[in-house]
Amino acid sequence: MSLDVTARLGSRRLDLAVTVAEGQTLAVTGPNGAGKSSLLEMVAGLLVPDTGRAVLDGRVLFDLDAAGRGPWVPAHDRGVVLLAQDPLLFPHLSVLENVAFGPRSRGAGRREARGAAAQWLEAVDAAALAGRRPAELSGGQAQRVAVARALAADPRLLLLDEPFASLDSTAAPALRTLLGRVLAGRMAVVVTHDPADVEALADAVLRLEHGQVARRE
Most confident residue range from 47-56, 97-106, 135-144: 47-56
- Give the model confidence (pLDDT) of 141-184 as tens digits: 998 899 899 989 889 999 999 888 877 777 788 888 888 888 88
Answer yes or no: are the C-beta atoms of 50 and 64 closer than 8 Å.
yes
- Give the model confidence (pLDDT) of 86-103 as tens digits: 889 999 999 999 999 989
Residue type, 55: V
pTM of this prediction? Answer: 0.91
Three-state secondary structure call for residue 98:
helix
Per the DSSP assignment, residues forming a β-bridge with 207 are: 29, 215
Cβ atoms within 10 Å of 132's Cβ, excluding its own: 17
Q: Which residue has the higher pLDDT, 75 or 166?
A: 75
Domains for the chain: give ranges and CATH numbers. 1-79+155-217 (3.40.50.300), 91-154 (no CATH)
Please, which pLDDT band fits residue 140 given cuts at 50, 70 and 90? confident
Please, which pLDDT band fits residue 55 given cuts at 50, 70 and 90? very high
3-state secondary structure 25-90: EEEEECCCCCCHHHHHHHHHCCCCCCEEEEEECCEEEEEECCCCCCCECCHHHCCEEEECCCCCCC
